[in-house]
Amino acid sequence: MSDAALAQRALRSLDLTDLTDTCTPSAIDALCAKASDPHGPVAAVCVWPQFVRQAKAALMGSPVRIATVVNFPDGGEDVARVSDDVGEALADGADEIDLVLPYKALQRGNASTAREMVEAVREKVDRKRVLKVILETGMLADPKLIEAASRLAIAAGADFIKTSTGKTAVSATPEAAEIMLRAIRDSGRSVGLKPSGGIRTLDDAKIYLDLAGRIMGPNWATPQTFRIGASGLYDTLTAILDGKASTAATGAY
């Protein structure tokens, strides 16, 4: 596959993200303009809950979906509060919910709290919308815990399992993604993968696309089953499509 074809494939699976602490309404307008650029469309924009209405209005009539985050980034354990937050986000027009798993509870051996959180949010998120569960694999670290978190999230109803918030020292890694893909494969369920955090170049994206192809099959990774969570990657991909950058071009996450 040529660099341009690979860049196009990655772009169509991109969750174009602005979860910076300094995000502004004007930044959301710029994000939505990028999302619906002729190079795209991207799969979704991922924004803070307070910007869901704005993004929904800006992308009205577009195939780009609106994703937002809950229990983010700390992965707390207040199920009732998170359920309320999800309800508000859905009422504002969110198409996709990216939920941070209570991974610290799982580290303590308290899988029931983590499971309860995912199941409660799944009850709120109807099947016309998408629930992604963020495992925070860089903090879980232990392969056995990453596998356990993957299996728990899948069993509790996740549509996607996602590596990271992008707010910790270690975000997506191929090693964690491989564990997650094997859990998806072994589950026999239709669940997607979203590597997120630190993916800045076409070569970075290719690592995860190739990994998905090797474990799940060459035609598995589509926007319905595979997403890349990133911000600066968009500029790199579009520069490649315009013939203005190499695969090693970088952008800031």
Which residues belong to the active site? 98, 162, 194
Report whether 179 contacts 211 (CB < 8 A): no
CA dist., res. 81 & res. 73, Å (int): 14
Integer distance in angstroms from the first to the last C-alpha of the chain? 26
Report whether 212 contacts 200 (CB < 8 A): no
Report whether 151 contacts 184 (CB < 8 A): no
CA dist., res. 202 & res. 68, Å (int): 25
- Print burial letters for 25-58: b (CB count within 10 Å at least 16), e (below 16): eeebeebbebbbeebbbbbbbbbbbebbebbbeb
Which residue pairs, CB below 8 angstroms and at least 24 apart, start in 18-26? 18/45, 18/46, 18/47, 18/48, 18/231, 19/46, 19/47, 19/48, 19/69, 19/72, 19/165, 19/166, 19/167, 23/47, 23/48, 23/51, 25/51, 25/54
**Cα angle for residues 204, 206, 208 (degrees, 5° grid):** 80
